[in-house]
């Protein structure tokens, strides 16, 4: 594996794992009033665009990280819709 791919995987894991504390807190407490719906909506759209870009480049780190983070972002949006 070439070093740019390794860096890509490290970046992908880091940015994806960064969302786990928010996801856990939102899931446990059902408190989402301080989370911006608009920000998460735009963020999820951006993740979708990154996923499409990753598919076009056939870049596994980009595809995997953004699909996983998009799923977490959508779950937070669902919680926000129900409990916000």
Please state whether the predicted TM-score (pTM) of the whole model is above 0.75: yes
What is the tens place of the pLDDT at every residue in 71-81? 999 999 999 99
User: What is d(CA 76, CA 23) in angstroms, rounded to the nearest whole number?
Assistant: 6
The contacts of residue 47 (CB under 8 Å, 6+ apart) are: 66, 69, 70, 73
What is the tens place of the pLDDT at every residue in 29-46? 999 988 999 999 999 999
Contacts 24+ apart (CB under 8 A), 27-32: 27/75, 27/79, 30/79, 30/82, 30/83, 31/83, 32/76, 32/79, 32/80, 32/83, 32/84
What is the tens place of the pLDDT at every residue in 5-32? 899 889 989 999 998 999 999 999 999 9
Q: Which CATH number fits domain 32-84: 1.20.1280.290, 2.60.40.420, 2.40.50.140, 3.40.50.720?
A: 1.20.1280.290
Domain ranges in the chain are: 32-84
């Amino acid at each position: 594996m070439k070093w740019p791919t390794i860096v890509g995987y490290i970046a992908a894991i880091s940015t994806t794992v960064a969302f786990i504390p928010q996801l856990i807190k939102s899931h446990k407490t059902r408190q989402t009033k301080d989370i911006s719906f608009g920000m998460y909506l735009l963020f999820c759209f951006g993740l979708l665009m990154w996923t499409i870009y990753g598919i076009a480049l056939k870049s596994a780190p980009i595809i995997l990280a953004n699909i996983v983070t998009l799923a977490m972002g959508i779950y937070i949006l669902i919680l926000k819709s129900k409990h916000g």
